[in-house]
Structure 1
Amino acid sequence: MTVVVWIAEGTWPACVDAARVHAPQGAELVLLHVNDQDVPGVAHGAFAGLLGRGHRERDPGDQVEHLAAASARQLLDAAAERLARPCTRLERTGRAEREVVSAADGAELLVLARDGDRSRLGPHSLGPATRFVVDHAPCPVLLVWPEPAPGADTLPPPPPHHRR
Structure 2
Amino acid sequence: MTVVVWITEGTWPACVDAARAHAPQDAEILLLHVSGQEVSGVAHGAFAGLLGRGRRERDPGNRVEALAAASARHLLDDAAERLGRPCARLERTGRTEHEVLTAADGADLLVLARDGDRTRLGPHSLGPATRFVVDHAPCPVLLVWPEPAPGTDTLPPPPHHHP
TM range (shorter): over 0.9
**Distance in 2 (alpha carbons) for counterparts of 1:54 and 1:130:** 38
Report how far residue 52 of structure 1 moved.
4.1
**Distance in 1 (alpha carbons) for counterparts of 2:26 and 2:46:** 48
TM-score, normalising length: structure 2: 0.98
2:64 pairs with 1:64: yes
Letter in 1 for 2:59: D
**Distance in 1 (alpha carbons) for counterparts of 2:59 and 2:82:** 36
> Could you say which residue in structure 1 is the equivalent of 2:95?
95
The answer (yes or no) to whether the contact 1:72–1:91 under 8 Å persists in 2 is: yes
Report how far residue 54 of structure 1 moved.
2.9
Q: Which runs of 4+ in 1 moved over 3 A?
A: none
**Distance in 1 (alpha carbons) for counterparts of 2:75 and 2:17:** 15
> Could you say which residue in structure 2 is the equivalent of 1:73?
73
**Distance in 2 (alpha carbons) for counterparts of 1:52 and 1:128:** 34
Q: Which 5+ residue runs of structure 2 have no aligned equivalent?
A: none
Aligned residue pair count: 163
Aligned-residue CA RMSD (Å): 1.1
2:115 pairs with 1:115: yes
Where does 1:143-154 land on structure 2 (aligned, <5 Å)?
143-154=143-154
**Distance in 1 (alpha carbons) for counterparts of 2:75 and 2:106:** 24
Q: Which 5+ residue runs of structure 1 have no aligned equivalent?
A: none
Q: Partner of 2:74: helix, strand, or coil?
A: helix
**Cα offsets for 1:92-124 (capped at 9, x unmatched):** 000111110110000000000000000000000
Name the % identity.
84
TM-score, normalising length: structure 1: 0.97
Where does 1:1-164 land on structure 2 (aligned, <5 Å)?
1-161=1-161
